[in-house]
Amino acid sequence: MSAAVPLVEVTRGPFVESQHRGHAVICDTSGQIVRSWGDPDLTILPRSSCKMVQALPLIESGAADAAGLTSRQLALSCASHNGASIHTGPVRDWLATLGLTDDALRCGPQEPGDRTAMEALIRAGELPCQYHNNCSGKHSGFLTLNRHIGGGSEYHEPDHPVQTAVRAAFEEVTGETSPGYGIDGCSAPNFATSLTGLARAMAAFAGAREGHGTRQTAQARLVQAMMAHPELVAGEGRSCTALMRAMEGRVAVKTGAEAVFVAILPEKGLGVAVKIEDGTTRASECAITAILIGLGVLDPGHPAARAFGHMPILSRRGAVAGEVRPAATLVTGW
């Protein structure tokens, strides 16, 4: 990765002990770069940050309405959830309405990130299942689309009609031909794009309005669902949920593995994409928080802004020893 710049620094006492270098892009609804750090042309795998793009064919095909999906289910289709009961229960019910069970999923089992759910499994002597996978909502959306189009059971395969529809939507909203894909943790293909392409896609979501064509209507519905149900998009204690709550339904944000983070700002018509070079989540959380503060949509005094924008580093006894904070690169020039 070339031209990465310091975006986040880690202090201990008066010393900057380490840095996280990376890249970030802000685009407007015309697809133009408003501001960037590092290399805006960097090719990345967006990982779970692009789940709202992967959900577009679910709505555009008519599958979501045919299945009577609610905004809560649309939020889950964009989620990387904790596997708490508020996530797994609705996913189980969703699949039941399709006449399907856990066996139909292709995302694989995963230990829930929610401690209560994990402890309940341990007490019951049960193993995690695919419902607990953080991507089970996305895969439920894939299955809903698959039933609508009459596709085969292996909906996660790159050449399956579900994934070819996802790729077409992805390339359209990024404005780029994807150079390829990697297999994500949930076994579905994850299509590559430039960081600018990802920010351009988020700006397209930001500018979308219901009633302005099939694509914009689908984009607007997904953004509204995410902002209305932040607890379903991630879960308690997670940055996506906390930051969206702090911005009170004005902005949608979504993290992805290996330190990707995006934001959709409908009121400002802007899309943001961040990639931290070393793949550290604490850094992408800090960087997106700083950018949201800089854009004037997040109160710097809000507890969520302080928690992720100036994350304290504690000693084993709980004393504040330092912090994870945005580098000067991110906080100047606003």
Note the pLDDT of residue 5: 97
Total-model pTM: 0.97
Note the pLDDT of residue 149: 98
The β-bridge relationship of strands 5-12 and 15-28 is antiparallel
CA–CA gap between residue 179 and residue 183 (Å, rounded): 14
Alpha carbon distances (Å) from 229 to 107, 133, 217, 296? 23, 19, 18, 22
Note the pLDDT of residue 127: 97
Q: For the chain, list residues with pLDDT below 70.
A: 1-2
Spatial CB neighbours of 317, under 8 Å, sequence gap ≥ 6? none
Note the pLDDT of residue 146: 98
CA–CA gap between residue 275 and residue 238 (Å, rounded): 18
For residue 91, the Cα-to-chain-centroid distance in whole angstroms is 18
Note the pLDDT of residue 333: 87
Note the pLDDT of residue 2: 65
Note the pLDDT of residue 71: 98
Residue-wise pLDDT for 175-203, tens only, equals 999 999 999 999 999 999 999 999 999 99
Note the pLDDT of residue 299: 98
CA–CA gap between residue 294 and residue 263 (Å, rounded): 13
